[in-house]
Structure 1
Amino acid sequence: MRTELVSEPGDPTRPNEDFAAAALPASGQGGALVVLDGVTPPRGGTGCLHSVPWYTARLGGTLTELTVSLPDVPLQEALARAIARTAEAHAETCDLSHPRTPQATAVVARWGLERVEYLVLSDSALLVDSQEGTVTALLDDRLSRLPRSALATDALVDSTVRNKEGGFFTAAADPSVAERAVTGVLPRAEVRALAALTDGATRWVEKFREGSWEDCFRLVRKEGAGALVERVRALERADSEARTYLRRSKTHDDASVVYVEL
């Protein structure tokens, strides 16, 4: 079994807000991966004493533990429990109702002898490679389908579409958001490999249009997860002045990739 994990901050002088983990139970059967992309808040208050890296570490660690230790609990429930447990850790000191309370996107996959379960919430991605070599991108595309006018300012996003019906959803302090995740189950025999990517890594496809999801997966499989991040960094540097592809996005974003051959 081949497993690779790369997580690189967009700015080496700032903490990485991503979380990435791959876990193999002691039984030797099955496994799981968890990837979170912490949402960088705008300048101003978040109602919380804690940083985004604190939140993603807490949520990611709890979610990984629950996903592995409770194999019969659906992934949506595992995410809901992890969100609730993380919220309890700072509910007495922080305003968890603030729209910018620390939050994150999520990708979770868990596999056993018979099936592969998956969960995707917001704009990270899970790529699935079939035994026939077909690559399928499992996405929560609600954010990308919103009109640009709905995303014009941070205040507008927070008041109208962030964690709201008709908008998009992230894991913050409300456990019920887990019900909004894209989920499914695949036959284990049909899955050869998985790759989970935060949007700092999916830029290779979604921002720079360097290739398809299948091309992206093949790059990771052939050259390694680190090679994809290196390609993205080179493209970001080349576009730092023209801003042709990045537009309003930050020049460099945290980028994480977890690759697993089952």
Structure 2
Amino acid sequence: MRTELASEPGDADRPNEDFASVGLPASGQGGSVVVLDGVTPPKAGTGCLHSVPWFTARLGGALTELTVSLPDVPLMDALTRAIARTAEAHASTCDLSHPRTPQATVVAARWNPDAVEYLVLSDSALLVESPDGVVTPLLDDRLALLPRSALTTDALVDSTLRNKEGGFFTAAADPSVARRAVTGTLPRRDVRALAALTDGATRWVERFEEGDWTDCFHLMRKEGPQALVDRVRTLERADSARSFPGRGKSHDDATVVYVEF
């Protein structure tokens, strides 16, 4: 098995708000990948004493432990437990009802000799390659499908769309949000490799349009996850005029985990 991981902050002067892990149980019968993209808080605050990196470390650590220690518990239920555990850790000190309480997107995959289970919540991505080379993106596209006019201000997004029906969902303090995730199970024989990416890395496809998902996967296979991150950074630096509308931050935290069976 080949596993490679690259994670880089968008700004060297700010902490990386992403989280990534690969869990390989001692039994040698499978493994898991967990990738979180922490949502950068607004300047107005979050109602929480803790930073986004604190939150992603807590949630990501809990989800990693649960995917490995409870292999028979579905990923949706593992995420439910991880969110509840994380919320409990700061419920007594923080306002968890605040719409910007620390939160994150989630990608998780877990495999055993028979199956590959997956979960995607919000705008990170999971790419799966079949033995014949077909690359399938597994996405939660609810945010991407919203009209740009609905995303004009943080206040509008928070009041009408964030973690609301008809909008989009992230893992914050409500364990029930796990039921909103895109989930499924694939036969293990149908998966040759997979990759989990935060949106700081997927912009190679989605923002800069340097290639499609298959091209992106082939780049990772040939040159590794760090090469994808490096190419995104080069494109970001070249785009000094911000000629790609809707790109968001000039530089975003970028994380890629690549697993080849």
TM-score by length of 1: 0.99
Equivalent residue, structure 1, for 2:117: 117
CA-CA distance at 1:245 after TM superposition: 1.3
Give yes or no for contact 2:207–2:247 (8 Å, CA) kept in 1.
no
Equivalent residue, structure 2, for 1:256: 255
Structure 2 CA distance, aligned partners of 1:148 and 1:246? Answer: 11
CA-CA distance at 1:247 after TM superposition: 4.0
Structure 2 CA distance, aligned partners of 1:175 and 1:250? Answer: 29
Equivalent residue, structure 1, for 2:201: 201
Give yes or no for contact 2:193–2:260 (8 Å, CA) kept in 1.
yes
Structure 1 CA distance, aligned partners of 2:142 and 2:247? Answer: 19
Structure 2 CA distance, aligned partners of 1:133 and 1:247? Answer: 32
* 1:28-81 Cα shifts (integer Å, max 9, x gaps): 111000000000011112000000000000000000000110000000000000
CA-CA distance at 1:246 after TM superposition: 5.1
SS of 2:156's partner is helix
Equivalent residue, structure 2, for 1:65: 65
Structure 1 CA distance, aligned partners of 2:187 and 2:4? Answer: 23
SS of 1:219's partner is helix
CA-CA distance at 1:257 after TM superposition: 0.2
* 1:72-100 Cα shifts (integer Å, max 9, x gaps): 00000000000000000000000000000
SS of 2:116's partner is strand
Query: Which ranges of structure 1 fall in alignment gaps of 5 or more residues?
Result: none
Structure 1 CA distance, aligned partners of 2:98 and 2:53? Answer: 18
Structure 1 CA distance, aligned partners of 2:183 and 2:41? Answer: 27
Structure 2 CA distance, aligned partners of 1:201 and 1:173? Answer: 26
* Count of residue pairs brought into register by the alignment: 261
CA-CA distance at 1:170 after TM superposition: 0.1
AA at the equivalent of 1:200: G
Give the aligned CA root-mean-square deviation in angstroms. Answer: 0.7
Structure 1 CA distance, aligned partners of 2:25 and 2:112? Answer: 10
Q: 4+ runs of 1 displaced by more than 2 Å?
A: none
Give yes or no for contact 2:95–2:101 (8 Å, CA) kept in 1.
yes
The reply to whether residue 145 of structure 1 matches residue 135 of structure 2 is no
* 1:190-240 Cα shifts (integer Å, max 9, x gaps): 10000000000000000000000000000000000000000000000000x
AA at the equivalent of 2:7: S
AA at the equivalent of 2:101: T
* 1:101-141 Cα shifts (integer Å, max 9, x gaps): 00000000000010000000000000000011000000000
AA at the equivalent of 2:147: P
AA at the equivalent of 2:6: V
Equivalent residue, structure 1, for 2:215: 215
1:50-129 correspondence to structure 2 within 5 Å: 50-129=50-129
Equivalent residue, structure 2, for 1:233: 233
Structure 1 CA distance, aligned partners of 2:45 and 2:136? Answer: 39
Provide closer, same or farther for how the CA distance between residues 24 and 129 of structure 1 changes in structure 2, counting only shifts above 3 A: same
Equivalent residue, structure 2, for 1:24: 24
Structure 2 CA distance, aligned partners of 1:231 and 1:190? Answer: 30
Equivalent residue, structure 1, for 2:10: 10
CA-CA distance at 1:248 after TM superposition: 5.4
Query: Which ranges of structure 2 fall in alignment gaps of 5 or more residues?
Result: none
Structure 2 CA distance, aligned partners of 1:152 and 1:142? Answer: 16
CA-CA distance at 1:242 after TM superposition: 1.2
TM-score by length of 2: 0.99
Greater shift in the superposed pair: 50-59 or 241-250 = 241-250
Give yes or no for contact 2:112–2:188 (8 Å, CA) kept in 1.
yes
Equivalent residue, structure 2, for 1:174: 174
AA at the equivalent of 1:38: G
Equivalent residue, structure 1, for 2:36: 36
Between the aligned residues of both structures, percent identity stands at 79
